Chain A
């Protein structure tokens, strides 16, 4: 994988509807924005006009939630062609989606359901990512999801599976630090081991977000500030992977834009402090 396919964009936030007007009217300082691809796969109207104006001023990245890379349904060609058309129009720095499945039998659960980590699943997913990359004529990033269930038939860890998929499909990794933390709590693995196992040359983006603590499990709700434990894990990831484009996600109980921007600034400061100390491994 060529790192120049995924240049360092800096520290950005997910662009969500409550902030459209603020961003267009105030043009706040922000390195880049990530948008949910499906929200813009429409015929016309305000979403596309907003994205057009944002694209004029900021780098953007298309982040999908319905590619369903792990589904056993055939790849949705119409969806892929719509995504390719969106990419031609708005020239995202890259396109990403999740290492999961979202539906089967023509149904869509609108959720990111984990896969069993087996050799057969690996072959299935790798083949589909290769097809997607061929249709989109670019490498994509795949993101690790938060999960609440593991399967008895799994024969490898999530980090082994993620690594194998990225290596064999020759795609990049969007490492969601909060998702690692949430899944580590839910499945009792060591999140630091996870991060240390991911190949440095494959990681092109980080996600940071908040989660909810339900006592017996953590839920990836994107409705809280980033927790201290996740910040610590992020710093560990920065030491391992170096300066990587970082994005703050916030999807529910969305605060004022200033709070999102401040969180992106916090990521920048933490990253800079590590850089100053010369603690990057890469």
Chain B
């Protein structure tokens, strides 16, 4: 009988998601023998309440998680979500994970031809969400930095915040994101490196120069401070790399990008 319950659940799952093109059996067939209908609501109408709820709940969730992608794609967003759920139905207990494959899915979707930046825009929006929920760590305070002895700096291994993310984009999608809600325009081509991070509970993003990106990537790999400085200096076009590195480090500490080792 447990097999019967399993069969019933698989049948219902298939029928509820049928509108998304995943059905292995006709919803009519399912509803007619399994669900009680009456003169007020047929079995199929009852089943469709669940099918509609499934789609619209996830559509609402993805609209909330990807407001800029939804604004750019407009009326096409619902169709995108329908196609996306057909390939990537939710599997995790939290609905927070529902949109985790949307950027990859968009990169191969027809909408990408019309808006060639849209997959990168979705990736930026998804990254903002992941950073928002990312692991906590106490930020390194400026007062703590001042206590480090000069002799200890070269071998010092900085730790970047575990929720920090870097994105390398072909389009300036950060410009689109900032303009959403006003009058967004198709972005200029990049490349652009974007840093997404969280300071306490607030998520921020900004563009970083190639030198800063190299430094952060070296720090994230666990390289010592001397190696981080070399990574930065080799990409700087300045006569005074030390001053530039000092400014960069001060900014990293002020932004909470570094955490205690």
Contacts and interface: CB of A to CB of B under 8 A. Distances in A.
Interface in B82-103: 89-96, 98
Interface string B10-54: 101100110000000000000001111010110101110110011
B5 interface: yes
B201 A46 contact: yes
Given A107-B89, A151-B34, A151-B35, A42 B96 contact: yes
Contact of B93 (A38, A119, A148, A216): A38
A72 B5 contact: yes
Interface in A188-220: 188, 216-217, 219
A108 B93 contact: yes
B1 interface: yes
B85 to A, nearest CB: 10
6 contacts: A76-B93, A104-B9, A107-B90, A108-B89, A109-B17, A153-B8
B58 interface: yes
Given A118-B1, A151-B34, A45 B57 contact: no
A97 to B, nearest CB: 11
Contact of A39 (B47, B94, B98): B94
Q: Which 5 A-B pairs have the closest CB atoms?
A: A44-B136, A120-B1, A66-B93, A46-B201, A72-B6
Contacts of A110: 54, 57-58, 61, 90, 95, 98
A79 interface: yes
Given A39-B94, A66-B93, A110-B90, A45 B36 contact: no
Contact of B35 (A45, A72, A115, A152): A152
A68 to B, nearest CB: 8
Contacts of A16: none
Interface residues of A, number: 45
Interface string B95-131: 1101000000000000000000000000000000001
Question: Chain B contact residues: over half helix, strand or loop, or mixed?
Answer: helix
Contacts of A216: 40-41, 45
A71 B89 CA distance: 17
A71 B10 CA distance: 10
Nearest to B32: A152
A44 B135 contact: yes
B201 A72 contact: no
B13 A104 contact: yes
Nearest to B36: A150
B5 A148 contact: no
A172 interface: no
Contact of A45 (B10, B17, B47, B163): B163
A109 B33 CA distance: 22
B35 A46 contact: no
**Most chain B beta carbons < 10 A, residue from A47, A109, A153:** A109
A210 B61 CA distance: 21
A80 to B, nearest CB: 10
Interface string A250-270: 000000000000000000000
A48 B49 contact: no
B34 A113 contact: no
B134 interface: yes
